[in-house]
Chain A
Amino acid sequence: MDLAERLLQGDKRAVARLISMAENHDPEAVEILKSLFSKTGKAHVIGITGPPGAGKSTLTDKLAKAIRKEGKTVGIIAVDPTSPFTGGSILGDRVRMNDLSTDPGVFIRSMGTRGHLGGLSKATQAAVKILDIYGVDYIFIETVGVGQSEVDIAKNADTTLMVMVPGLGDDIQAIKAGIMEIGDVFAVNKADRDGAKRTAREIDMMLDFNHSDWRPPVQMVIAVDNEGIDELLGHLKDHKKHMEDTGKLQQRRTLNSRLEIIDLVQENLMRMILDKSKKEEMINQLAVDVAVRKTDPYTASESILKEI
């Protein structure tokens, strides 16, 4: 039985292997995704992000358990940064999801960013599709960071959940309005700590600048005590429903698809340029030439493009 069939039959090992193949740029994975793409688009894809130490993994764990109580299934993609120096990484999100590990209705996959700028690898998008085909009802993509990676998540998700915690001081101010804008739902975790209400108020104030017809709810939660989780899940569902009712889900998915196509074109172009070792040599030579002012970077890039 080939991988595509096994995936359709719900074989976890096929899911896992396909994600690996996508991570490793195996062309076979692309072919399988092409053939099964029509089966995607059913899961509710939720991006979870926020600053380090906000408790995202624990929150994901609790949300997944709440969903399991409703009899639905969950896929979790936990992304952690790869070391730019060694290419290695330690992916530790499973530590907080140990109870889910053996639940047949849950599939957890840890991924390293593997040097992909922005923190979210292209492979993540493939992993989302694979889990979607596999048939889970919800897919969480959890990623750390404040900045570009949040924007990347929004590209992938139907709903983006921003997790904040009190006590980060000026960090909220530092988070640019652009980042705040991508949050569809906000959670203030560790709500029993000093300053939680203030944090919630500050987020709320910033949301005053939001003039769309969806005002992101701000939910207080204490993830470790499982408090506020059902309410938070309710907000996530409401957001999806709102998006469907207003036709915005279609709009967002169209936009996401457009971005993905452009990304793929860019990536394939780069691959075409860089994959051939001959061109690698050529680039190296051109780099030397530019550095010693024998030529200029503009002419150099044009001569590479002419090669294709």
Chain B
Amino acid sequence: MDRPIRVLVAKPGLDGHDRGAKVIARALRDAGMEVIYTGLRQTPEQIVSATIQEDVDVVAMSILSGAHNTLLPKVVELLKVENVDDVLVIGGGVIPDDDIPFLKEKGIAEIFTPGTPTSVTIDYIRANLKRK
């Protein structure tokens, strides 16, 4: 692929802990990707709208508020409503292992929990893009 991968980095939910989101944004940039950063308190509707307008390859959501089981599946659902089926949706943050099967079943491709090296996320994105 001779174009930069475009990634939307978003923080759904009300928590303001954006260290992880910012670190991953920088790491993706340094890996040659175009990162669209949207800031705090993003509703699923805002995330989906940005995903469409920015025509991103990946939606990466960071959440530490505990509302992941509500908000992450909502994003996937709304993307389906809009017939967006070629975007890789991933999540990260303080998410208990027990919740991961549920989230994957709901269409979040992968969850990266605390301590994951950024290189793992970068490699995962490169290997799992839905469009070339």
Tell me the chain A residues, 203-238 only, with Cβ under 8 Å from chain B: none
| A119 is an interface residue with CB less than 8 A from chain B | no
From the candidates B29, B53, B54, name the one contacting A89 in the complex (CB within 8 A). B29
Say yes or no: A90 contacts B35, CB within 8 Å.
Answer: yes
Is A167 in the interface zone, CB < 8 Å from B?
A: no
Residues in A whose Cβ lies below 8 Å from that of B3 = 23-24
Q: How far is the CB of B109 from chain A (nearest CB, A)?
A: 20
A94-B39, A98-B46 known; A17 vs B34 contact (CB < 8 Å): no
Contact assessment for B55 and A95 in the assembled complex, using a CB-CB cutoff below 8 Å? no
Q: How far is the CB of B33 from chain A (nearest CB, A)?
A: 5
Q: What is the bound-complex CA distance between A101 and B39, given in angstroms?
A: 12
With A13-B82, A16-B55, A86-B29 known as contacts, the answer to whether A91 contacts B39 (CB < 8 A) is no
CB of A88 within 8 A of CB of B36, answer no
Q: Which residues of A contact B39 (CB under 8 A)?
A: 92, 94-95, 98
In contact, B31 and A94 (Cβ under 8 angstroms): no
Chain A: interface residue total (CB-CB under 8 A): 29
In the bound complex, residues from chain A placing their C-beta under 8 Å from that of B33 are 88
The complex places the Cα of A86 from the Cα of B26 at a distance, in Å, of 11
From B25, B54, B84, give the contact of A109 (CB < 8 A): B54
Looking at B4, B53, B55, B82, the one whose CB has the most chain A CB atoms below 10 A away is B53
Contact mask for chain A residues 12-49; partner B; CB cutoff 8 A; 1 contact, 0 none: 11011101100110000000000000000000000000
A94-B39, A95-B39, A110-B36 as given contacts; A86 in contact with B30, CB under 8 Å: yes
Residues of B close to A112: CB separation below 8 A: 4, 34
Closest residue of chain B to A78, judged by CB? B36
Q: How far is the CB of A249 from chain B (nearest CB, A)?
A: 28
A residues 101-151 near B (Cβ < 8 Å) are 101-102, 107-110, 112, 114
In the complex, the chain A residue whose C-beta lies closest to that of B31 is A88
Which B residues lie within 8 Å of A98 (CB)?
38-39, 41-42, 46
Say yes or no: B55 contacts A89, CB within 8 Å.
no
Q: Given the interface contacts A16-B55, A23-B3, A88-B4, does A102 sit within 8 Å of B35 by beta carbon?
A: no
Known contacts A94-B39, A102-B46, A112-B4; is-contact A89 B52 (Cβ 8 Å): no
Contact, CB under 8 Å: B30 / A89: no
B11 to chain A, nearest CB (A): 10
Chain A binding site: helix, strand, loop or mixed by DSSP? mixed
- Interface membership of B101, Cβ < 8 A: no
Decide: A13 and B4 in contact? CB cutoff 8 A.
no
Among A79-100, those with CB < 8 Å from B are: 82-83, 86-92, 94-95, 98
Complex-state Cα separation, A91 to B37, whole angstroms? 6
Q: Does B32 contact A (CB under 8 A)?
A: yes
List of B residues within 8 angstroms of A23 by Cβ: 3
Task: Tell me if B49 counts as interface (CB < 8 A to partner A).
Answer: yes
A150 to B90 Cα, complex, angstroms: 38
In the assembled complex, B45 has its CB within 8 A of some CB on chain A: yes
| CB pair B52 A101 closer than 8 Å | no
Q: Is the CB of B53 within 8 A of A109?
A: yes
Q: Do A16 and B31 touch (CB < 8 A)?
A: no
Chain B neighbourhood of A107, CB < 8 A: 53
Contact B4 A101 (CB under 8 A): no
For A83, list chain B residues within 8 Å (CB). 29-30
Closest B residue to A114 by CB, please name it. Answer: B4
Bound: A12/B52 CA distance, A: 7
| A17-B31 Cα distance, complex, nearest whole Å | 23
Query: Could you give 18 example pairs across A and B, Cβ below 8 Å?
Result: A13-B52, A13-B55, A15-B53, A24-B2, A24-B3, A86-B31, A88-B30, A88-B31, A88-B32, A90-B29, A91-B34, A94-B37, A94-B38, A95-B38, A98-B46, A109-B53, A110-B36, A114-B4
Choice from A19, A87, A94 contacting B55 with Cβ under 8 Å? A19
